[in-house]
Amino acid sequence: MGIHAARAMLEHRAGEVCSVVLSSQRTDRRLKQIETLASRNGLKISRVPNSELSERTSSSKHQGVLLLCDDAKRKPLPSMKRWLGDLPQNSLIVVLDSITDPRNLGACIRSAHAAGVKGIIVPKSRGCRINATVSRTAAGAAEITPIFEVSNLVRTLDFLKENGYWVIGLHPDATQSLFDVDLNESCVLVFGNEGTGLRKETQKKCDTLVRVPMFGQIESLNVSVAIGVAGFEAARQRINVQI
């Protein structure tokens, strides 16, 4: 649900969409763009009142758009080994350890994508799964960013290190500042749960722990903001190297 998520889905993964449901009470340009994209892809379009959309999505934040998709039509991601092999040198990856709030997860995906992160890894059994709320909050980023759900996050971090990635955990008690670390190599940035942070077993697998320096009186940032800060610091360093 949501304008940005629906548009990204229709532009990049229309083959997974079965039908499109639009608000009968909206006729603005953005909704017409969604309708045009759906028509170009030969999708069935229906118009219903906002109240029905709210009931079907269990939310009032659908923005007048609902796409019905079929998991069976979803194009599978390549194996992680193949995906890593196809990435350019010095790529940046984000690992999210047990993010439980769907809006937070969506915001994390959006921040990561905006900073140029090549992909996101999340655990299957811990934290929130990718759902309609995550997708809407990510504003289209969830549909175009590779997101891997893994059974064992600790083993996955070992695998990433074996493939030449430097694993950096973000932790508020770390002694080293994020801004003092060279982020020009192939890096994995690991972020923890909203309340408890990185799990101990995850911390042990990190090559180093860093903190985002805090200059006010609060002790921490929302995880999606921390991803934005760290991701754009990596982007800033890489731009400076290119110059």
Query: Which pLDDT tens digit goes with each residue over 90-124?
Result: 999 999 998 999 999 999 999 999 999 999 999 99
Are 142 and 181 in the same domain?
Answer: yes
How is residue 187 written in tokens? 């890096």
pLDDT at 243 over 60: no
Are 118 and 166 in the same domain?
Answer: yes
pLDDT at 241 over 80: no
Residue-number span of the structural domain to which 178 is assigned: 80-242
pLDDT in tens, 20-31: 999 999 889 999
Are 91 and 178 in the same domain?
Answer: yes
**Amino acid (1-letter code) at residue 77:** L
Rg (CA), the chain: 19
Mean pLDDT over residues 127-135, rounded? 88
Burial of 139 (0-12, 13-18, 19+ CB in 10 A): buried
Are 11 and 43 in the same domain?
Answer: yes
Domain boundary among the residues 73, 99, 128 is at 73
CATH classification at residue 204: 3.40.1280.10
Are 25 and 101 in the same domain?
Answer: no
Task: Give the confidence band of 220 by pLDDT, cuts at 50, 70, 90.
Answer: confident
Cα(161)–Cα(163) distance, integer angstroms: 5
How is residue 209 written in tokens? 């722990």
Strands 65-69 and 17-23: antiparallel
Are 38 and 128 in the same domain?
Answer: no
- Please state the domain count of the chain: 2
Are 152 and 55 in the same domain?
Answer: no
CA angle 88, 233, 193 (to 5 degrees): 95
112 contacts 138 by C-beta, under 8 angstroms: no
Of 143, 147, 146, 144, which Cα lies nearest the Cα of 69?
Answer: 143
Mean pLDDT over residues 132-136, rounded? 90
pLDDT at 127 over 90: no
- pLDDT value, residue 3: 93
230 contacts 178 by C-beta, under 8 angstroms: yes
Cα(50)–Cα(41) distance, integer angstroms: 24
Domain boundary among the residues 73, 89, 122 is at 73
Task: Give the confidence band of 54 by pLDDT, cuts at 50, 70, 90.
Answer: very high
Cα(63)–Cα(218) distance, integer angstroms: 34
pLDDT at 242 over 70: no
Question: If residue 5 lies in a helix (H) or strand (E), which one and from where to where?
Answer: helix 3-12
Mean pLDDT over residues 36-40, rounded? 95
**Amino acid (1-letter code) at residue 220:** S
Are 186 and 88 in the same domain?
Answer: yes
Are 99 and 59 in the same domain?
Answer: no
Domain boundary among the residues 22, 52, 73 is at 73
